[in-house]
Structure 1
Amino acid sequence: MPQHAPNRPVCRHCDGFPTVAITTGDRRRDGSRVLLHTVCPLCKGTGHDLSARADTRVGA
């Protein structure tokens, strides 16, 4: 059975893929590639839209 997770919107900047590894094209002495790991600047690596929607009930 699937687990129920909170229904939070996916980040519009990274489409839910918050961390990526980018190859620089260089290789180490053992043959492995040199990678740069980075996170989405909008969602801070969570993959979900963190925009505050507290102002939806203004004046209520």
Structure 2
Amino acid sequence: MAQHTPPAPRICPACDGFATVAVTLGGRDPRGHLRTLTTDCPACHGTGTAPAHRVREGARA
């Protein structure tokens, strides 16, 4: 019996799948640690995948 493979997840076009990044603020704190901010992609909210487009009923193709 053949196995069905699930379709690959849709990668977010805004971040290309790299949904969370660390942005350097420049310089270091008094302890010597690099100051960074963790930022999520605003399009996919940090998931890395794009939502599937659903066809609305009555919409033209």
Same fold (TM over 0.5): yes
Structure 1 residue ranges, 4+ long, deviating more than 2 angstroms after superposition: 56-59
State the partner residue of 1:53. 53
Over the aligned positions, Cα root-mean-square deviation in angstroms equals 2.3
With normalisation by structure 2, the TM-score equals 0.73
Unaligned runs of 5+ in 1: none
Higher helix proportion:
1
Q: Tell me the alpha carbon deviations over residues 21-45 of structure 1, each in whole angstroms, 9 at most, x when there is no partner.
A: 0101121111111101100000010
- Equivalent residues in 2 for 1:5-44 (5 A)? 7-44=8-45
Unaligned runs of 5+ in 2: none
